[in-house]
Structure 1
Amino acid sequence: MQLIQDFQNGDKRSFEYIFGELYQRVCAYSHRYLTDSQEIEDLVQDAFITLWNKRTDFEHINAIKSFLYTTVRNKCLNSLKHQTVIREHESRLIYELENADKEQAVIEEEYYGHLYNEIKNLPEGSQKVMLLALQGLKNKEIADELDISENTVKTQKKIAYAKLKERLSPMLFSWLLMV
């Protein structure tokens, strides 16, 4: 057939004719596997590019049709596999994030519990200052709350940090400095 010979020889009009005849059919076939029209169009166009690059391999129109349908089916299946992998990865990531939050909360509770136990062993002035500091109050606010000077707050904190540094593990003490 002249169409196939012209196509094999790189005649663009013959390719345009084949494209015009088969493009919509192959797209419709792809809808069996995928629903995203843009993705389908991209996959079908890729299949036609591959067809053009392998044009010398085809002796008749049925071989071209078979190639296009097989290529597009495989591309659709690969896309579905990829989507499955993405969903599984997202599910695993969500699970890990949810559990990480729970684990982090448990760790923080443990740290706070240990820290509060050690704060109870501090002198009374340092205790009060540290408990207010852990509530997020600034030195000025602590001074106002306890009716003491800001310098006294700083001194009490300095005493508290020195004693806590001796009693806490380096990791727990570092965590204290971050909160």
Structure 2
Amino acid sequence: MSNSFDINALQEGKKEAFEEVYNDLFDMLYCLALGYIGKREVAVEMVQDAFMKLWENRYELRKSTNIKNYLYTITKNNCLNHLRHQEIINRGNRDYLIPELHYQQEALARLPDSFVKLEELMKEVERAIDLLPPDIAKTFRLSRFEGLTYSEIAKQQNISPKTVEARISKALQFLRCELKDYLPLIELLFMIRF
């Protein structure tokens, strides 16, 4: 990922500058949104809205604007607003969802304020996942980073859902030990049930 982006080119409306930001940051922001929203289509919508706001407000950017933090903050706030809206919708008809939505809102609100801290955390998570056997790492990534269900993963990898479940369990056991110093933040970030 680039550490800085060409804000002048972005302000001038240059498509290449916007595409560079989009290509560098979309996946990280999508993982963040998916971890809280849990639905791929809605997570994409949250992130695309953040990029749309960046484009619409590009003239107001300062030379010192940290684009990563800017988009991270918008995405995080979009997710919080979505969860609050879901809580209002579900209040009358499915009370059992309310505690889960509260937990997601609180967890999201406690995420680091800086994208740099999030990037550092993600590097630690990636480093630990890379230590897993390749088949387990691939299954874990499909579950946690791409939001696939156990059935979808089983079909894609040509294995049984029970094997998927066993691989995820092994990955979580390993990551629980490997990332013990980061557990609270990682639980908040990806809703990983350690």
TM normalised by structure 1 equals: 0.47
TM normalised by structure 2 equals: 0.43
Looking at both structures, which has the greater relative contact order when contacts are Cα pairs under 8 Å and sequence separation is at least 6?
2
**Higher helix fraction (1 or 2):** 1
Mark the structure with the bigger radius of gyration: 1
